[in-house]
Structure 1
Amino acid sequence: MQIQVINDQDRDIAIAEIRRLNAVMAQFGEESRTVFAEAYALCGLVDALEVRASRGHREILVLDCTAAQIRAVLEWQTLDQVGKFEGLVIHLVRKA
């Protein structure tokens, strides 16, 4: 599992990066998977990501993450020592 945190304070730059990633995913026949972090509590966000990963999603975009949510996802990453989610890439866009 790979976690990429997009720290750009300028929301427009982060949105442009997400659009770029969506375009790349579309070229590979992958459907964009955008999650809105503000809709989830800490555990709920991790649970939602785990469900999506278990369904076979290999790339997930998460918008408007708080620092606490980012920490929770990074902690979840450390628990995947078996490599169950190998090949999963999660892009976390920090809330401006």
Structure 2
Amino acid sequence: MQIQVFMGNAGNGKTSKLQSVQERLKFTGASAPIIQAGAYGEDSLLEILEVRAAGGQREILVDGCSGQQILKVLEWQSYVEHKPDFDGLVIHLARRD
């Protein structure tokens, strides 16, 4: 599992790296809708990441993350990265301004 964190102007999902990643995925035939982190608490965000990974999504895009949400995802990574559901998973987190 790999986690990429975008900050500052790069972390604005409307004009940023997340859209670039999303376009790249569309080009390859994959789909990765952007999750709006503001709609979730820290634990709920982890749940949605687990559901998406278990469902086979290999790249997950999350926009508008708080610093605490990012820290929680990084902590969660250490607990789940050895599980097969998370092999090859890349999570892109964009921190809100």
TM-score over 0.5 (shorter chain): yes
For the pair 1:60 / 2:44, whether they are aligned, the reply is no
Whether the aligned pair in 2 keeps the contact of 1:63 and 1:94 (CA below 8 Å) is yes
**TM-score w.r.t. structure 1 length?**
0.90
CA RMSD of aligned residues (A): 1.8
Distance 1:73 1:53 in 2: 13
Matched residue of 1:63: which SS?
Answer: strand
Moved more, 85-94 or 3-12: 3-12
Match of 2:89 in 1: 88
Match of 1:2 in 2: 2
The amino acid across from 2:45 in the alignment is L
Matched residue of 2:57: which SS?
Answer: coil
Q: Residues 47-68 of structure 1, C-alpha deviation per residue, up to 9 Å, x if partnerless?
A: 1100010000000110000000
**TM-score w.r.t. structure 2 length?**
0.89
Match of 2:35 in 1: 35
Structure 1 segments, 4+ long, off by >6 Å, are: none
Aligned residues: 96
The amino acid across from 2:90 in the alignment is V
Show structure 2 runs of 5+ residues with no match.
Answer: none
Deviation (angstroms), 1:33: 2.5
- Percent identity reads 39
